[in-house]
Amino acid sequence: HCQVCGEDFVSRNKMFVHLEESGHHAQHGPSDGTITKGFQRENCSLHAYYKLQGVAGSDEAWELCYARFKEDLPVCFRLTQQTNSSLLSKAEAITEALLRRSALSFEPALYHFSNGADPRSHCDPGSVDRSEQNTPDLSCCSLWVVSGSSAASGAVGGGLEAAHAIGLLERQEQNSALPPLLLDVRQHHLVLDMCAAPGSKTGQLLDMMLADAAPGSLPSGLLVANDTSRERAMQMAKRIRKQVRHCLLITFSDARVYPTLRKGRGGFKMRLDRVLCDAPCSGDGTLRKDKSQRGGRASPWRLWSVKTALGLHATQVKCLRRGLQLLRPGGRLVYSTCSLNPIEDEAVVATVLGDGVARLVPLPDDLARAPGLKTWRVPDPEFTAENPLLFASVEDAEAAYVGRRKCRLKRSMFPPCSAEVIDQLPRCGRILPIHGDGGGFFVAVFERKLAQPTDGTGRPSFEAGQAAQDAGEQQEEGDGDATQEV
């Protein structure tokens, strides 16, 4: 029902189309449902869900996070490693012109590394000139945030596009730069980026391998960038075509069943030194990227639903399991999502930790974050602010569905029972807008154990866990539930 003209509609979607076409969204009052009519940055169900889950540690911290999610992201860019002196001079000319034209300041991002040096070293933020009257020294660090008014930040776009066209920089959100840094890549490593598109992390990994190589030489290792979609893989190839890509191989394959690499035709199996599993996710940590004040049909504020996370959980578990299968003993895997949901984060990590083939590596002490949750509740697929139904165990969920419909929630979505697994979960990290001027992000660092446990049949336990999960999904196939694979 439109509160302006009084017209009735058979569905909310048709009403939203009417509000957008008629211009009545500006005069429309607050909604009694999930989305605030008028297309403001508001979602009552999202707010209620994460407040009940306690992802920020306290209700006060979550309220601060929710307010920050309504603000636009600052402009952030990363200088490419092969930037030479002539390109740096062009960059400084671009930034000097931008600083003269607008009230902008350039600041080092939360995570950055020194150009031409060890990519794990940090420059001193105090040594960087942040004055609006002076051009910053772009050679001292790689990841920069442009801060200023939204109108002034819009003026920076043309300069950044010009710099991007000559291969000087890449646009990359600062939280997106964290997983490659935690991966600790060296120039001789065999590395797999399982879900690489659109390619910002792949380009950063290339830069890190190049930085670790001896001066004047190329990396001796190999970086394999994979994506399920051939079209997205081709777009990624175009994006990094200006970088040194001697050690890059691009593939398009399903990450859940990614094939084992071999040395030559019929040669021995190659185990990976490093794996980056930036899994497909619901993406509700990217709410700040929605720059529309009215919210288009694809606005994450309008599309958010717990069904998305429930549907992706099984896919994320399979991707992470496969990554660990391909990893050599002692190798490192970084699992990350741009989701806040524990169903996509801690539940996936706990499920794979239960296989016993890997352990979590603690994150750096100086990384501002909220520790991983030890316990959480799983929502009903129809969760809303008006019907906030959460279950603490699969037994509670099955009891609630008796006589109504079949329980669609998987046991792996619920908190683990193993004390060993529970004690490791705080080693994960959930990065929120209150921890830096970015979006929401989740990250966990795995290390493959040297000893490979078995399930008593001689098979590695992760293979047994995967077989059990596959059997359960085949039994549920065709039910059309909320956890259908995407």
User: Which of 393-397, 418-422, 451-455 is predicted with the least confidence, judged by mean pLDDT?
Assistant: 451-455
Across residues 332-336, what is the average pLDDT? 98
Residue 345 has pLDDT above 80, yes or no: yes
At 269, the pLDDT band (50, 70, 90 cuts) reads confident
pLDDT of residue 205: 93
User: Half-sphere exposure of 93 toward its Cβ, with a 13 Å CA cutoff?
Assistant: 9
Q: Which of 134, 155, 136, 132 minimizes the C-alpha distance to 144? A: 136
At 466, the pLDDT band (50, 70, 90 cuts) reads low
pLDDT of residue 449: 93
| DSSP characters over 206-232 | HHHHHHHSPTT---SSEEEEE-S-HHH
Residues 6+ apart with CB under 8 A from 359: 353, 424, 446, 447, 449
At 74, the pLDDT band (50, 70, 90 cuts) reads confident
Written as one letter, the residue type at 447 is: E
Residues 6+ apart with CB under 8 A from 231: none
User: Half-sphere exposure of 319 toward its Cβ, with a 13 Å CA cutoff?
Assistant: 33
pLDDT of residue 165: 72
pLDDT of residue 106: 58
Question: For the chain, what percent of residues have pLDDT higher than 70?
Answer: 66
Residues 6+ apart with CB under 8 A from 49: 306, 379, 383, 388
| DSSP characters over 148-173 | E-HHHHHHHHHHHHHHHHTTSEEE--
- Decide: 410 and 314 in contact? Cβ < 8 Å: yes
pLDDT of residue 180: 92
CA distance 148 to 441: 23
Task: Locate the DSSP E strands across 44-201.
Answer: 75-79, 104-108, 143-148, 169-171, 190-193
CA distance 209 to 223: 9
152 or 218: whose pLDDT is higher? 218
Catalytically active residues are 338
Q: Which of 65, 59, 37, 10 minimizes the C-alpha distance to 285? A: 65
Task: Locate the DSSP E strands across 16-172.
Answer: 75-79, 104-108, 143-148, 169-171
CA distance 394 to 378: 9
360 or 26: whose pLDDT is higher? 360
Q: Which of 257, 324, 274 minimizes the C-alpha distance to 470? A: 257
User: Half-sphere exposure of 124 toward its Cβ, with a 13 Å CA cutoff?
Assistant: 2
pLDDT of residue 125: 36
pLDDT of residue 295: 47
pLDDT of residue 142: 65
Give Dmax (Cα) for the chain.
72
pLDDT of residue 485: 28
Q: Which of 98, 63, 288 minimizes the C-alpha distance to 176? A: 288
Question: For the chain, what percent of residues have pLDDT higher than 90?
Answer: 45
- Decide: 67 and 112 in contact? Cβ < 8 Å: no
At 96, the pLDDT band (50, 70, 90 cuts) reads low
pLDDT of residue 9: 63
Across residues 196-209, what is the average pLDDT? 91
Across residues 80-86, what is the average pLDDT? 58
- SS3 assignment, position 426: helix
pLDDT of residue 51: 96
Strand partners, 101: none
Residue 117 has pLDDT above 70, yes or no: no
CA distance 45 to 26: 22
The helices-and-strands tally (H runs, E runs) of the chain is: 14, 15
pLDDT of residue 129: 41
Backbone angles phi, psi at 67, to 5 degrees: -65, -40
pLDDT of residue 73: 85
pTM over 0.75: yes
pLDDT, the chain, mean: 78
Across residues 205-223, what is the average pLDDT? 90
Q: What is the pLDDT of residues 171-201, one digit of tens each?
A: 888 899 899 999 999 999 999 999 999 899 9
